Structure 1
Amino acid sequence: MRLTSFTDYGLRALMRMASDPDRAFSTAEIADEFGVSRNHLNKIIQRLARHGFVATRRGAGGGAMLARPASEIGLGDLVRLLEQDQALVECFAPDGACTVSPVCRLKGRLFAAESAFLAELDRSTLADIALPAPVSAMT
């Protein structure tokens, strides 16, 4: 299974926020740290904020921070949210058409594999994968 860059960048940003949960991180700071597009990261942070994983503040001292403890944020929930518009295969999409659908033996196996993947992620939280605090924050 391959996750989209949207999910990859979202997880990286959350891992950084979990390293210092009382601090607000600017999108620019996170984007620069991981070498990702600020514009793309803004969209990710907005989705995470709309769904209650991240709280945002504007202005001086503003930025994004976890909206609740990392130990209460399941990795499976995050991946489901960040991948919500991305079907594993075309036939999983709401409007996905497949010419072999009536006789396909693959769809059920792929669905089971995707379910097992998410079930494994459901066993872990953001706290389990938080990045170590940056060296500058430790001195």
Structure 2
Amino acid sequence: MQLSRFTDYTLRVLFYVAINNDRLATLNEIADFYQISVEHLRKVVHALSKSGYLKTYRGKHGGIRLNRPADQINIGELVVQTEGPQPLIDCAGLECCLTSMCNLQNTLAQAQKAFIDTLSQYSLADMLNNPRMQQRLISKVG
């Protein structure tokens, strides 16, 4: 299974904001850090704000920060939210001579569930529990 770029950027934004949560982070700062388009990040931040993961502040001194503690942000839940409930393959409506006897869709659904179940064992705080990663994520701004 491959995660979408949107989910990848979602995780990166949360990593950055969580480590720098003692202040407001900006889209430009995050875009510069990861070398990602500000427009891509704007969509990610908007979705994270709507979902309650981020708090945004407008204006000249605005920015973003976590809206809940990192240990209360579940990685599995976040991935399901950003990826959606799409099956890995969807045989409905296909004209396949194996449809009535094939177990592939059910097997892949079990694998997808195991993938999400594994991610659900971790919080954002768990993902950031690495001093080298924390040091790298600490912004030099300000």
Structure 1 length normalisation: TM-score? 0.86
After superposition, the C-alpha distances for 1:10-63 in whole angstroms (9 at most, x for unaligned) are 101101111122321111111111111111111011111111011101112211
After superposition, the C-alpha distances for 1:75-106 in whole angstroms (9 at most, x for unaligned) are 01111111127x343417xxx53333333210
Question: In structure 1, how many angstroms separate the alpha carbons of the residues matched to 2:83 and 2:22?
Answer: 27
- Pick the structure with greater CA Rg: 2
Could you say which residue in structure 1 is the equivalent of 2:109?
Answer: 111
Runs of at least 5 residues in structure 1 that lack an aligned partner in the other structure: none
Runs of at least 5 residues in structure 2 that lack an aligned partner in the other structure: none
**Alpha carbons of 1:36 and 1:136: their partners in 2 closer, same or farther (altered >3 Å)?**
closer
* Residue 6 (1) aligns with residue 6 (2): yes
Please state how far the C-alpha of 1:135 moved relative to its aligned partner: 6.4
Structure 1's consecutive aligned runs of 4 or more residues displaced over 3 angstroms after TM superposition are: none
Q: RMSD between aligned alpha carbons?
A: 1.9
Structure 2 length normalisation: TM-score? 0.85
Map 1:81-96 onto structure 2 (within 5 A). Answer: 81-84=81-84, 87-91=86-90
Could you say which residue in structure 2 is the equivalent of 1:51?
Answer: 51
Question: In structure 2, how many angstroms separate the alpha carbons of the residues matched to 1:117 and 1:104?
Answer: 22
How many residues in Structure 1 have an aligned counterpart in Structure 2? 133
- 8 A contact 1:24–1:63 mirrored in 2: yes
